[in-house]
Amino acid sequence: MSEDNNNCCWQGYDDIMAIAANGGDPRGWMDEPPPEIHDGKVHFKGRGNVIALPKREREHHLPEIQWHDEKLSDWAEREIPDRRWLVPEWIPREQVTGLYGVGGINKTDFLVQLHLAKSAGLPFLGFKLEPGPTYGLFCEDTSEEIVRRAARISAHYGKSLADFPDFHFASLVGLDDPEFVIFEGTQMKVTEALLRFDRKITTLGAVLATLDTAPHFFGGNEVVRREVTKFLRKLDAISIARGCGMLYTAHPSVRGKSSKTFDSGSTGWEGSARARISIHDPGTQEDDEGSAGPRPATDRRILTR
């Protein structure tokens, strides 16, 4: 890919080339000038690094949860299913969990270790996890940094990187448009990034998917409850339909740090996530402004549900 004067060039797939050649826009929902073809490449104007998907991914449809009325008495003769967990009593399966903590508190290390343990069926937080494929998106660490963290943690387990073929991930550092949704007035529009994310989960049969960090994927206003809620409902629909537990990371606001609630932005974040976990260092104290106090940091962490 090359970039010049805000024009980005992507080596086109055959079907994208055909659409562009006929004057169509392979990006679908974007209300922008269609791309042009020069030197065998598709040139997109005025959008930055837009993800160009092959035909099979553009035809992928996100799951939709249907309204279904029930009578409680109909369950009298049915077996009531147990709640499903990724990590028992901590991270549920089939809905979204938020992991909150200040910068530098090792949220990404937490995610990487969770991926390693879940993908290979290793102990985590005192529980031996059932193995299954995992998929993570990281917006603040390059691939090399994720691998360095994984190598250090896998050595703790007495394993090598070759022992984790079911840990799949992508670094999106530097990508202009990783947002899953954007808002135009009151309307939420799904982007190609979310379609790609869901297709990968489906293809892998992933039982765990993580987003580091949530604001990178949310193209709305963090303090507008309606927008936050619509975004998290979309993630819930994917999690439920695909049988996949989903975990996102986020930083608490100054108010959230000072109140020890670790809230971030709108109460929609607090109310719409099925579970929330906060992580902090017991060796630091915070004053009323939420800044670090004089006590030194430690290598211990406390998780709170």
Quick: pLDDT tens for 109-150.
Answer: 999 999 999 999 999 999 999 999 999 999 999 999 999 999
CA distance 35 to 13: 13
DSSP per position, 94-153: SSEEEEE--TTS-HHHHHHHHHHHHHHT-EETTEEPPP--EEEEESSS-HHHHHHHHHHH
Confidence at 39, pLDDT banded by 50, 70, 90: very low
Question: Is it the case that residue 63 has pLDDT exceeding 70?
Answer: yes
Query: Cα separation of 107 and 101, whole Å?
Result: 7
Distance CA 213, CA 235 (A): 14
CATH of domain 85-304: 3.40.50.300
Q: Stretch 60-88: mean pLDDT, rounded?
A: 90
pLDDT digits (tens, 9 = 90+) for 233-252: 999 999 999 999 999 999 87
Q: What is the model's pLDDT at position 66?
A: 86
Average pLDDT over residues 221-239: 90
Question: What's the pLDDT tens digit per position in 241-292?
Answer: 999 999 999 987 555 455 455 555 555 566 566 688 889 888 765 544 444 4
Angle between helices 192-204 and 225-242 (to 10 degrees): 20
The structure tokens listed for 177 are 């448009």
pLDDT at 280 (0 to 100): 85
For 168-204, what is each residue's pLDDT tens digit?
999 999 998 899 999 998 899 999 999 999 999 999 9
Q: What is the pLDDT of residue 65?
A: 83
Q: What is the pTM of this model?
A: 0.75
- Does residue 74 register a pLDDT over 50? yes
Q: What is the mean pLDDT of the chain?
A: 79
Segment 95-112 mean pLDDT: 91
Torsion from C-alpha of 289, 268, 211, 260, nearest 10 degrees: 30
209 vs 26, higher pLDDT: 209
* 222/253 Cα distance (integer angstroms): 11
Least confident of 1-10, 120-129, 213-222: 1-10
Complete DSSP assignment for 243-254? T-EEEEEEPPPH
Looking at the chain, which residues constitute the CATH 3.40.50.300 domain(s)? 85-304
